Amino acid sequence: MMIVNKEKCIACGLCINDCPARCITWKDNKAFVVNKICIECGHCIAICPKFAVSTEEDKMKEVIPYKEETFHIEPENLLNFIKFRRSIRQFKDQEVEIEKLEKIIEAGRFTETARNLQDVSYIVVRKDIDKLRILVMERLYHMGQHILENLTQETMSIKKYAKMWVDMYEAYQKNPNIEDTIYFNAPALILVVSPTPINGGLASTNMELMTNALGLGTFYSGFTVRAAEDNQKIREFLELKEDEQIISCLAIGYPKVNYLRTVPRNDAKITWL
């Protein structure tokens, strides 16, 4: 619920003009929030020059006033930071601090969501990574077998992955101590979960940026996402609700490799209208 302090409100109209839900109106020449249609996006709190708008006290504790020295990032630095990121698959034998994992999740929590649904949640896997890895390998093995036995024109493009999944699991059965080719010995996973793919995807991107800023490395485990689709064993292990789906899986740890420069990319395909 949004509340307007009438004594502080100077009737400037900034909150009314900026409200995406159009739920703020005038009442007694002061701003008034119609909370039954409010999506609680917080634009009114952020824009008010007199800090006249607020919500529940606990939530207001994390509101931070803008200061250029702590909020501004130079565009070229940000772009270079994005260009320099690498998917990491070589990790040190070193645990990731809980505080750093929480900060990564915080970056996801403050990412925008459609209609301010805030419908993204997170599963952190640390001590049970090996259990999840085995479940993922088993599922991929059966998927790979099915693909190889029923090849079609459509599945030819993933034939090499199907064979990889089968070979990977068969090698594990012969030697359970074989090299980890699912998570590459990353000490922590964060699974981003949401019924809305775009919301989970946006959160994942900001989380990756924070991971790199903390001196950590990550890669997206697409194999985990693929294996978990409609697989009851993995869903039960992760305690997923019926409407929840895994949007991404970030394997996180301290990099065992140092990169020295950015790499080329294809030109952007742009249509100017």
Please give the full DSSP string across the chain, using - where no structure is assigned. Answer: --EE-TTT-----HHHHH-TT--EEEETTEEEE-GGG-----HHHHH-TT--EE--HHHHTT-----HHHH---HHHHHHHHHH--B---B-S-PPPHHHHHHHHHHHHTS--GGG----EEEEESTTHHHHHHHHHHHHHHHHHHHHHT--TTGGGGHHHHHHHHHHHHHHHH-TTS--SSSTT-SEEEEEEESSHHHHHHHHHHHHHHHHHTT-EEEE-HHHHHHHTT-HHHHHHTT--TT-EEEEEEEEE-BS----S----PPP-----
**pLDDT > 70: percent of the chain:** 100
Q: What is the mean pLDDT of residues 20-32?
A: 97
pLDDT of residue 272: 98
Q: For residue range 160-207, what is the model confidence (pLDDT) as tens digits?
A: 999 999 999 999 999 999 999 999 999 999 999 999 999 999 999 999
pLDDT of residue 65: 97
pLDDT of residue 8: 98
Question: Over the chain, what is the mean pLDDT?
Answer: 97
pLDDT of residue 220: 98
Same domain, 157 and 124: no
Same domain, 249 and 188: yes
Same domain, 41 and 148: no
pLDDT of residue 30: 98
Q: pLDDT band at 90, cuts 50/70/90?
A: very high
Q: Which domain holds residue 145?
A: 132-174
pLDDT of residue 188: 98
What is the number of domains present in the chain?
A: 3
Same domain, 90 and 219: yes
Same domain, 21 and 56: yes
**The domain spanning residue 115 has which CATH number?**
3.40.109.10
Same domain, 56 and 164: no
Q: pLDDT band at 26, cuts 50/70/90?
A: very high
Same domain, 41 and 7: yes
Residue type for position 251: A
pLDDT of residue 79: 98
Same domain, 121 and 232: yes
Q: pLDDT band at 63, cuts 50/70/90?
A: very high
pLDDT of residue 41: 97
Distance CA 43, CA 16 (A): 10
Domain contains 261: no
Q: What is the mean pLDDT of residues 247-263?
A: 98
More confident residue, 155 or 206: 206
